[in-house]
Amino acid sequence: MRRFASASLAAVVLAAGACGFHIDRDFEPGDTGIHPSGFADEESADFHGAFLEQHGYPLADCRGCHGDDYHGGTVGVTCSKSGCHEKGVEDCNTCHDAHPTTGKHDEHAFSCETCHPTHADARGADHPDGDVDFAFSGLAIAGGAHPSFDPGTETCSEVYCHGGRAIAWTAKGPLGCDACHDAPPATHAQFATASSDCTVCHGSTTQHVDGKLDLEPLGCDTCHGKGPLGAPPPGLDGSMAGGAVGAHARHLDSSISDRIGRVAKCADCHVVPDTFDAAGHIDGAAPADVTLRTDESYDPTARSCVVGCHWDKDPGPEWDDTSGAPRACDACHGFPPAKTRTGGPHPPTAPSLTACLGCHTFDPSTHVDGKVDFAW
């Protein structure tokens, strides 16, 4: 913190005798008046700023001669005039810049009271006293943070602004994205990499570190899949096949020419959030949450489901089986079935699609919809 070092400063004249000046000084030959000639020269060893700092800022003595407002007093010499404490002796700029340039002040565009106690004037027992005091408030304590500053290491810790991490006040250069949080954060591991464009989800960085988590309006396909449904591929991890992708297209893509069943809905297997930031949606934990009917189940280890869509066959088809076997006529029910849906024996017939079509219609848009369709 700079003490009385502004080029705009002029003399603060400390008077003696009747004025009440009581700090003993030795004066060199050539001194003018009660103060040495270099009292107004910040390059001089006798500069009044240095004198005040060395003696604990006895501004009360200054007021004893120059008046309570420093505008003249008994000596008739003002401390506030053109080029000399124009904003007043007790203005913040007199002792230090209103926004100091030392350390990282320039890079902290916050109000002073975010990190320091505020003072009504320079007349308290603890201000000025030569020490830099800390009293965190506002943004520094957002989110329940409990910040502190270690003057020995010049490091602040547990400050909201830095994600709770310890940051040295003397750190060189601007901080990188990974200085306060991982880049990407651990909770983003499924759908972001170090090269990801954070602004896609969080918008411009002009309002970064403002106590709020800024989020852009996002669609399902911002993080996974393509198109309005956001159905993989790609998966959250960027993969085009495997467990994160599986049979999503087979269930949801109406343009596939060899479909064998109706197009499913996302809500058939998942809880579809109203908004992307709904509770429980972005939880950072794989695999995806599957929520089926109470009489159905999904095994995330085997990636296999036992559901009515597949005739409740147990074990059911594997989610990422690309062999085509799960789409065969006998994958879900016998070919022909041994029993009907009502539990009765199925009439004997030849194991051919032509034989099936003698009694049943086959339309992918109505197949696998919980109903048995007949041709008559």
Q: pTM for this structure?
A: 0.56
CA distance 307 to 310: 6
DSSP annotation string for 200-267: HHH--GGG-SSSS-------GGGTSSBTTTTBSSS-TTS-SSSTTTTTHHHHH-TT-TT--SPPP-GG
Q: Where are the domains of the chain?
A: 17-95, 105-168
Query: Do you find a cis peptide bond into 184, omega within 30 degrees of 0?
Result: yes
CB-based burial, 326-344: b 16+ in 10 Å, e otherwise: bbebebbbebbbeeeeeee
More confident site: 90 or 10: 90
E strand or H helix at 54, and its extent? Answer: helix 48-54
Q: What is the DSSP letter of 13?
A: P
Round to the nearest angstrom and report the end-to-end CA distance of the chain: 93
pLDDT range class, residue 263, cuts 50, 70, 90: very high
More confident site: 72 or 237: 72
Q: How does the average pLDDT of the chain come out, rounded?
A: 84
pLDDT range class, residue 33, cuts 50, 70, 90: low
Q: Would you say 24 and 155 are in contact if contact means Cβ atoms under 8 Å apart?
A: no
How much of the chain exceeds pLDDT 90, in percent?
Answer: 31
CA distance 274 to 225: 18
**Rounded to the nearest 5°, which phi and psi values hold at 116?**
-125, 155
User: Is the model's pLDDT at 13 over the cut of 50?
Assistant: no
Q: Which of 118, 171, 108 is nearest to 140 (CA)?
A: 108
pLDDT in tens, 192-213: 788 888 888 888 877 788 888 8
How much of the chain exceeds pLDDT 70, in percent?
Answer: 90
pLDDT in tens, 92-106: 888 887 778 888 888
Give the pairing of strands 155-157 and 297-299. unpaired
pLDDT in tens, 153-187: 999 999 999 999 999 988 887 888 888 888 888 77
The type of residue at 335 is F
E strand or H helix at 305, and its extent? Answer: strand 304-306
User: Is the model's pLDDT at 141 over the cut of 90?
Assistant: yes
Average pLDDT for residues 254-268, to the nearest whole number?
A: 91
Q: Which of 185, 196, 160, 198 is nearest to 282 (CA)?
A: 185
User: Is the model's pLDDT at 1 over the cut of 50?
Assistant: no
CA distance 54 to 51: 5
Q: Residue 27 is encoded by which pair of tokens? A: 């004066």
pLDDT in tens, 311-368: 899 999 999 999 999 999 899 888 999 888 788 899 999 999 999 999 999 999 889 8
pLDDT in tens, 103-121: 888 888 788 899 999 888 8
CA distance 116 to 134: 4
User: 287, exposed or middle or buried, with CB in 10 Å at 0-12, 13-18, 19+?
Assistant: middle
Q: How much is the pLDDT for 4?
A: 36
